[in-house]
Every structure is written in C-alpha cells, then in structure tokens.
C-alpha cells in the first residue's frame, strides 16, 4: 500500500482550512500555497466534499471550509476520501493476478492487516496531527 500525494495534500489542505477560523478559502489560493495544480486540488477537494469533511460556499467570499471540527475528523476518513477505501487496498478478491481457484490463502492476513490499520487510523483525529505542528 502506498500513501499518495493526494492524501498528504488533503491533510495540508485541512490544516490550512483549520487555520482560517472557518472562513472559506479559495481553492486556487490553496493550490498555489502548496505548489499543486488547480485540477489536482479540485480532485482532492471533491473527495473531501463527498466525505463530508469540507463544505463549499459560492459567491464573492466563497471557497471551501471545514464542514466539521478537527476533533471529529479521523485520519481514516481523510485517507479514504483522498485515496481508496481500505477494503479495496487490502483485498485479493478482485485481483486478476491471484491464481487461487476459490479462497486465496493470503486473504486472511490482508483482512487482519486492514483491520489493524483501519482501527489505528480511525483512532487518530486530525486535531492531534494539525495542532501539534
């Protein structure tokens, strides 16, 4: 499993939003701060929006802002909003490279790995990461 740039940027984007006292920030401004393209920032924003982590506001003072307090947002939510659900990352069920006829012999280890990692990420709240910087 690989932590992608999308996940890392999502955390930085949330940190910037938390520093802005719940006032919307423009996505272009956020993208420029982190030297990413607007298209990339938009993709990350869409995942966070769908997950209910950020909200958008239209108009002259529009942009994006946090939809919930940092204390309510887990690292697991951010990871899955930016990348894929852990179920997809740690499964051999749909893998074309697995040659097992029925049940894959390694599936149990991937299930337990997913459970341990999922529990760990679910227990980390964003305020623990962001406020400690």
Domain definitions of the chain by residue range: 5-130
Which CATH architecture describes the domain 5-130? Orthogonal Bundle (1.10)
Beta strands in the chain (DSSP E): 54-57, 63-66
Residues 6 or more apart whose Cβ sits within 8 Å of residue 97: none
Q: What is the pLDDT of residues 56-80, one digit of tens each?
A: 988 888 899 999 999 999 999 999 9
**133 vs 115: which has the higher pLDDT:** 115
Whether the predicted pLDDT of 3 surpasses 90: no
State which H helix or E strand residue 130 sits in: helix 126-130
User: Residue 98: its pLDDT value, please?
Assistant: 59
């Amino acid at each position: 499993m690989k932590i992608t740039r999308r996940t890392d940027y999502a955390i930085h984007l949330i940190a910037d939003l938390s520093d802005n006292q719940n006032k919307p920030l423009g996505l272009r401004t956020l993208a420029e701060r982190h030297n990413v393209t607007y298209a990339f920032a938009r993709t990350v924003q869409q995942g966070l929006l769908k997950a209910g982590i950020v909200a958008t506001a239209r108009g002259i003072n529009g942009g994006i802002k946090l939809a919930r307090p940092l204390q309510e947002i887990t690292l697991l939510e951010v990871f899955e909003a930016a990348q894929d659900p852990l179920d997809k990352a740690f499964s051999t069920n749909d893998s074309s490279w697995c040659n097992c006829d029925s049940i894959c012999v390694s599936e149990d280890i991937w299930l337990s790995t997913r459970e341990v990692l999922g529990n760990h990420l679910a227990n980390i709240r964003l305020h623990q990461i962001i406020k400690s910087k």
